[in-house]
Structure 1
Amino acid sequence: MKTLMRTAVAAALLATATAACTSSAGGSDPAGPDAGQRPVAVRLVAYRGCDEMLTGLREHAAENVGPWGFGGHNVLQMRSDTAMATESDAAAKSTGTPEHSTTNTHEAGVDEPDLVKTDGRRVVTVGGGTLRVIDVATRKVTATLKLTDEQTYAPADLLVSGDRALVLMRGGGDMMVKSIAPMGETKYVLVDLAGTPRVLGAVKPQGAHVDARMVGSTVRLVTRSRPEIAFPEARPDAPEAERTKLNRAAVRKAPVEAWLPTVEITDASGAVSKRTVPCERVSHPADYTGTSLLTVHSIDLAQGLTEAGTDPIGLAADGDTVYGTGQSLYVASNPRWWGPEPVVLEDQAPAVEPSPGEPTPAVTKAKAPPEETEVHRFDVTRPGAPVYAASGKVPGRLLNQYSLSEHDGHLRVATTTGEDGRGQSVSGVHVLRASDLTKTGEVGGLGKGERIYSVRFIGPVGYVVTFKQVDPLYTLDLRDPAAPKVTGELKITGYSAYLHPAGEGRLIGIGQEASEKGRTLGTQVSLFDVGDPANPRRLSQLFQKDSGSEAEWDPHAFLYWPKTGLAVVPLSTYGEGRYEAGALALRIDTSAVTRLGMITHPETRQGDTAYRPGIQRTLVIGDGLWTLSDAGVQVNDATSLAEQAWIPFGR
């Protein structure tokens, strides 16, 4: 078992690590109820200092560098969508506050970044580099805060706790200064929403933003960085073996600073300080490449930016998918897509003589990396920095964070193998013990020749949709982690790209209808009866020809309000020279999906062009249905859909 902790005496660290892996304060034990009856191997793998860290990273990175650096010209890193869904808030949070929906997230109690947040009294949204606050009672924009230079556009999301908002800027202009920053820059801005919104501070980490989760008022931010190493230029006609040789030499001379990411913190006055993740706060799994470093930052929105800054910890690993519970934060790394194997003649001599004491590398044919997903778990049951707990691997590729689910001391992981062209694709579910991420059981053989299009785990039951020409919906019995099994299968045309629980024995699917040959035809919303795991049935289907919905790939866009059965799906229809955008309102009860009507926003102009803005999100607040586009917010009656107010954003 592996862990990372602050610098302290070794005995205290070992006790902390053991406690983190075998118990949890204020929550269920991720290791399971019988964890105390079995030995748990605890092994510290935090680097003991910068010298040990540098030696390990140099050697591992040198083994994984190629002729074109870290990830060659024939490697494309694929990323999964990570923004996903929870249940609606069915009760008012305080006296006098109307009932309201919340962000549709994966796990209840674990909030996810999104474009808009509400507490029932106000709506807070961010777009085009501007934060806006809308008063629910007056239905007016009461405050705006420009976060970027006027000449730039920065995609962003929000997390809100009380009167504090954290704006997650994922590229665009620099904040708090009048300059233009390079695209792809990551920055997190802490804003006080009480009264006139004002910036309390900003964090600019080195590396790319991966994702974030918030439990209570504590936000865990995951970033990913690669070592900053200047590789030498080889002659244009240099063979790949020579290029690799030169790059390895550069890696073995790189300083520790090439791997250690810095964090730039700006306080409310504009004063800037820079910090580096300490070597002793960086860990590594047993097997790692040295070509990527994950950093987990922690910010308690209630306390703001303290002297600890973001209290960062690091892990020598890669990651592109984040999944969180109240006890654990998981970061998973999908395998890279790998092109044709580069041919290197086995009798080719090294182009550059090795340095004294350096072994002569064998010149062999490059091999594609294994098609497997790495999973890393951090314990987040205590305040402050999380504790690195374990790493594991499963074969295949994840679809998104819904492919992961922690339940009763185990992590369930759904993957597809053979998707990179090596053999026939097939999917399965792997069950790992959460305490050390060792395999407990698995079930495979799902959708041969197909790939996973959606996954949903609900307690001890799992649902997996695969697709190529028809859509098998598989039901899984996961009560015995050592012997998961398929209990039922439903074959229908098309597929569900997102699955949402809809009460006892019911499941909603959002996806595409398709012909028998697999050609997609338009958005479909399905209601499934999964009460009998051996006999899943589709009870009702609503089909909109020549259309698509953002909810198919981003469940934050889907609204389901269990109290009335109201569901809203953003919808774009196209064909024969037409394009229409809006939101489709539905009623979903225990037996049918019924169309209520379309909500559209007023046409707006961009230069000489008039267009109808696409609706991105929907909220329920009291008896109002609030829809958001980049042009403004519209309020409709949640029952009759009659328009009540239009709140333009302006430019």
Structure 2
Amino acid sequence: MRKRRAGLLSAAFFLALTPFLYANGVLKEPTASAADKAELPAVGSYENLKKLLQVSNSGIMYKYNTLALENVPSPVAAAPAMAGESGSADSPASYSTTNTQVQGVDEADIVKTDGNYLYQATNAEVRIVKAFPVNELRVESRITYENGLFQPLEMYVDEERLVVIGQATQAASAPAPTTSTSSVQAYKIGIPWYPEKQTVKALIYDLADKKHPQLTRQVEVEGQYLSSRKIGPSLYMTANNYVNTYRILQEQGEIPGPIYRDSTQGDGYKTIPYSDIRYFPERIQPDYLMVAGVNLDDPKQKMSINTYLGAGENTYASKENLYVAVTEYKAAPLPVQSKESFAPEIIIAPTNEINTNVYRFAMDQGTLTYAGKGSVPGRILNQFSLDEHDGYLRVATTNGEMWRTDEYTSKNNLYVLDNNLSIYGKLEGIAPGERIYSVRFMGDRAYMVTFKNVDPLFVLDLTKPKTPTVLGALKIPGYSDYLHPYDENHIIGFGKEAESDKDMAYYQGMKVALFDVSDVSHPKEKFKTVIGDRGTDSELLYNHKALLFSKDQDLLAFPVTVYEWTAEQKAANNIRDYGRFTFQGAYVYHLDLQSGFTLANKITHLDEQDMKKAGDGWYQTEKNISRILTIDDTIYTVSDSYVKAHQLSTKRQVGTLPLTK
């Protein structure tokens, strides 16, 4: 997915000082009453912001014992700031939807369908394509952004509206520096000067007339896009906003806080006062986390906006709560070297302490309210490392380092947090020396894949949240980057095959496996298929939205770039050798529990000239298929250049639509 992640400032130096700052009274631990009320301390004022940022200004050390925050008011809770049904000849009987983590919680993507139209977001425009019936395949309209001040990233579609989320550049520049000295100093030490403000903008269009979508509302918050969710008419967005610490500490005047805008409340931008900005005591980082909610059905309801000093990294959402996970690093002290010894000693440092802090926000009809914070040892992999079930939050983490062979070697864990986000149950020390490659929670079970030389698939029992246990494990070559439920007793793994040479494992082609967990004590690999050789890759391995799966249709499809060994390479059998490019497009499989994976079709948008120009390698082009979806018996493959339609039952191509002008 084409996202610009927030430029998270390297703050390891400052984070290592956090315990010292607490010990010397610079930072105050939240009181028990505050924690019980799910409250966070407020920045309070611009002077307090400067004091909180002082310790991380280009490595400059300040006198910590002289710093003290102004008295600020007691913190208060943050204010409220798909499948289609049976149809007729004029409407589809069924259509695919975006592959999401939680049923009922929609996730934005670059291609969507409502069963009649396809919607595609590119770098410069949004295309609305008439897709059903397939004999009417055409571009219905284009929403363009030719001024370059807005780049579409993802979108949502429902029966009434199209929501386009993208990165915007505000035309009005930030306040000019009060002196010329600050900009000169910034230039000398290599700090870039950004006169524009970057915002995350959501554009809401009425789709009553597909030929002429009407822009009805705009909402935006300052920063870089992190993630979003949509539940019915409620839209929730998160963004990270870089704080120019150097400028704040050097300017004589006050620099305003971050900005936001809701067009239903006026065309102008509003500034968030420092009295409304909270901070995470354990993670004071020079970034703002912006969390916003909008009720799309009620234009009179103001956008809910919450701002925190400290950046977010991963987001997970249930139907009731949004969670933002942040990694907290605490540098371990080095062992003291003997002063009597003139020879340098070999110092093996203990591993740094790494925790994951999870912040919860209650969601209600477009309103977000801070609702608590929890912390677990280790670091998470991605959004699938978190899951809410029956009032508990389950979190899978890895701590330690894979390269170590002492007590600080990597270990994998599962923690169960209660409604107060306190650790209620835990299972630690899984697969020492390995790290988590994928996790999937399914009700009272969890599936965890770790890897170093082989692929252990662990089946975990979460029936008793207080005491999670390992039910069984399967060790096979390779690993899975993404796990997808097939049914209650089977799960599909997408990853890479691997072969070992002595103590080193080398990944090979893309591996797709169906695991049978009917006997939880003895899970087994029921079927598998391997695509290509070393170098083969797929967006699905790092973005679950690239998957098309329908158990009812026995259908599995995803985009893939295939590299294969030549005859000479096969004879040499060097597992370190990369293959040569042979294909980019969609692999379409028939999948059932009797026959396993049967390759039903291979669809590409590349022509003969493209293949000749490719040579041994290939790269991202406008003809690369990125998404695959279905409407009734038609499978549509989408690239920036084409939409192609094939009949599922016959594999016959029934439509081609060029998308470029």
TM-score, length of structure 1 as denominator length? 0.75
Q: Does residue 1:467 correspond to 2:451, yes or no?
A: yes
Mapped partners of 2:639, 2:320: distance in 1 = 35
Is there any run of 5+ residues in structure 2 with no aligned partner, and where? 1-32, 63-81, 173-193, 337-348, 567-579, 615-620
Instruction: Say which of 587, 601, 607 aligns to 1:603.
Output: 607
In the alignment, is the contact (CA less than 8 A) between 2:98 and 2:112 conserved in 1? yes
Over 3 Å counting, the alpha-carbon distance change for 1:367 and 1:373 in structure 2 is same
Deviation at 1:616, TM superposition (A): 0.8
Deviation at 1:622, TM superposition (A): 0.8
Mapped partners of 1:534, 1:60: distance in 2 = 52
Letter in 1 for 2:305: P
What whole-Å deviation, never above 9, does each CA across 1:199-249 have from its counterpart, x for those lacking one? 3343342111110011111110011223333359xxxxxxxxxxxxxxxxx
**Comparing 55-64 and 321-330, the one that deviates more:** 55-64
Over 3 Å counting, the alpha-carbon distance change for 1:40 and 1:231 in structure 2 is closer
What whole-Å deviation, never above 9, does each CA across 1:49-82 have from its counterpart, x for those lacking one? x7x3556544443345551799xxxxxxxxxxxx
Mapped partners of 1:492, 1:420: distance in 2 = 19
Q: Report the secondary structure of 1:61's partner residue.
A: helix
Q: Report the secondary structure of 1:114's partner residue.
A: coil
Instruction: Say which of 450, 461, 477 aligns to 2:434.
Output: 450
Letter in 1 for 2:598: T
The aligned residue for residue 94 of structure 2 is: 99
What is the 5 A alignment of 1:85-124? Answer: 89=83, 91-92=85-86, 96-124=91-119
The aligned residue for residue 489 of structure 1 is: 473
Q: Does residue 1:168 correspond to 2:165, yes or no?
A: yes
Q: Does residue 1:581 correspond to 2:591, yes or no?
A: no
Over 3 Å counting, the alpha-carbon distance change for 1:554 and 1:173 in structure 2 is farther
What whole-Å deviation, never above 9, does each CA across 1:535-591 have from its counterpart, x for those lacking one? 110000011122211111111001111111100021111256534201111111124
Q: Report the secondary structure of 1:519's partner residue.
A: strand
Is there any run of 5+ residues in structure 1 with no aligned partner, and where? 1-38, 71-87, 233-249, 344-365
Instruction: Say which of 46, 54, 73 aligns to 1:62.
Output: 54
Mapped partners of 1:44, 1:483: distance in 2 = 26
Instruction: Say which of 224, 227, 230 aligns to 1:214.
Output: 230
Deviation at 1:98, TM superposition (A): 2.5
Over 3 Å counting, the alpha-carbon distance change for 1:413 and 1:307 in structure 2 is closer
Letter in 1 for 2:356: T
Q: Report the secondary structure of 2:367's partner residue.
A: coil
The aligned residue for residue 269 of structure 2 is: 274
The aligned residue for residue 387 of structure 1 is: 369
Mapped partners of 1:108, 1:493: distance in 2 = 32
In the alignment, is the contact (CA less than 8 A) between 2:480 and 2:494 conserved in 1? yes
Q: Report the secondary structure of 1:112's partner residue.
A: coil
Instruction: Say which of 609, 622, 628 aligns to 1:618.
Output: 628
Mapped partners of 2:223, 2:550: distance in 1 = 38
The aligned residue for residue 355 of structure 2 is: 372
Q: Report the secondary structure of 2:540's partner residue.
A: helix
Over 3 Å counting, the alpha-carbon distance change for 1:386 and 1:144 in structure 2 is same
TM-score, length of structure 2 as denominator length? 0.74
Deviation at 1:416, TM superposition (A): 0.9
The aligned residue for residue 30 of structure 1 is: none
**Comparing 125-134 and 422-431, the one that deviates more:** 422-431
In the alignment, is the contact (CA less than 8 A) between 1:313 and 1:385 conserved in 2? no
The aligned residue for residue 533 of structure 1 is: 520
The aligned residue for residue 334 of structure 1 is: 327
Over 3 Å counting, the alpha-carbon distance change for 1:274 and 1:601 in structure 2 is same
Mapped partners of 1:312, 1:494: distance in 2 = 44
In the alignment, is the contact (CA less than 8 A) between 1:148 and 1:173 conserved in 2? no
What is the 5 A alignment of 1:280-295? Answer: 281-285=276-280, 287-289=282-284, 291-295=286-290
Q: Does residue 1:594 correspond to 2:598, yes or no?
A: yes
The aligned residue for residue 205 of structure 1 is: 221
In the alignment, is the contact (CA less than 8 A) between 2:559 and 2:627 conserved in 1? yes
Q: Does residue 1:642 correspond to 2:652, yes or no?
A: yes
In the alignment, is the contact (CA less than 8 A) between 2:84 and 2:115 conserved in 1? no
Mapped partners of 2:222, 2:150: distance in 1 = 20
Mapped partners of 2:498, 2:167: distance in 1 = 35
What is the 5 A alignment of 1:281-360? Answer: 281-285=276-280, 287-289=282-284, 291-304=286-299, 306=300, 308=302, 310-335=303-328
What whole-Å deviation, never above 9, does each CA across 1:442-496 have from its counterpart, x for those lacking one? 1122222111111000001000001111000000001111111111100000011
The aligned residue for residue 238 of structure 1 is: none
In the alignment, is the contact (CA less than 8 A) between 1:602 and 1:612 conserved in 2? no
Over 3 Å counting, the alpha-carbon distance change for 1:488 and 1:171 in structure 2 is farther
The aligned residue for residue 567 of structure 1 is: 556
The aligned residue for residue 356 of structure 1 is: none
The aligned residue for residue 416 of structure 2 is: 431
Letter in 1 for 2:523: P
Deviation at 1:266, TM superposition (A): 5.2
Q: Report the secondary structure of 1:489's partner residue.
A: strand
What is the 5 A alignment of 1:408-423? Answer: 408-419=390-401, 423=408
Q: Report the secondary structure of 1:487's partner residue.
A: strand
In the alignment, is the contact (CA less than 8 A) between 1:337 and 1:420 conserved in 2? no
The aligned residue for residue 151 of structure 2 is: 154
Mapped partners of 2:651, 2:397: distance in 1 = 41
- Note the aligned Cα RMSD (angstroms): 3.7
Letter in 1 for 2:103: A
Deviation at 1:112, TM superposition (A): 0.5
Letter in 2 for 1:144: R
Mapped partners of 1:322, 1:289: distance in 2 = 19
Q: Does residue 1:557 correspond to 2:571, yes or no?
A: no
Q: Report the secondary structure of 1:312's partner residue.
A: strand
Q: Report the secondary structure of 1:556's partner residue.
A: helix
The aligned residue for residue 347 of structure 1 is: none
The aligned residue for residue 545 of structure 1 is: 532
What percent of counterpart residues are identical? 30
What whole-Å deviation, never above 9, does each CA across 1:275-327 have from its counterpart, x for those lacking one? 123455444445341533212111223335x472x321123332111100111
Mapped partners of 1:255, 1:444: distance in 2 = 51
What is the 5 A alignment of 1:179-258? Answer: 186-195=200-209, 196-231=212-247, 250=249, 257=255
In the alignment, is the contact (CA less than 8 A) between 1:98 and 1:121 conserved in 2? no
Letter in 2 for 1:624: T
Over 3 Å counting, the alpha-carbon distance change for 1:558 and 1:489 in structure 2 is same
In the alignment, is the contact (CA less than 8 A) between 1:389 and 1:436 conserved in 2? no
**Comparing 512-521 and 39-48, the one that deviates more:** 39-48
What whole-Å deviation, never above 9, does each CA across 1:164-194 have from its counterpart, x for those lacking one? 222111368979xxxx997975332222222
Mapped partners of 2:159, 2:122: distance in 1 = 21
Letter in 2 for 1:461: R
Instruction: Say which of 620, 639, 660 aligns to 1:629.
Output: 639
In the alignment, is the contact (CA less than 8 A) between 2:57 and 2:245 conserved in 1? no
Q: Does residue 1:498 correspond to 2:482, yes or no?
A: yes
Letter in 2 for 1:272: D
Mapped partners of 2:237, 2:640: distance in 1 = 26
What whole-Å deviation, never above 9, does each CA across 1:363-412 have from its counterpart, x for those lacking one? xxx999631111100111x2242110111111111111000000111111
Mapped partners of 1:580, 1:307: distance in 2 = 50
The aligned residue for residue 5 of structure 1 is: none
Mapped partners of 1:194, 1:630: distance in 2 = 25
Which gives a bigger RCO, structure 1 or 2 (Cα 8 Å, sep 6+)? 1
In the alignment, is the contact (CA less than 8 A) between 1:277 and 1:313 conserved in 2? no
Mapped partners of 1:570, 1:181: distance in 2 = 40
The aligned residue for residue 242 of structure 1 is: none
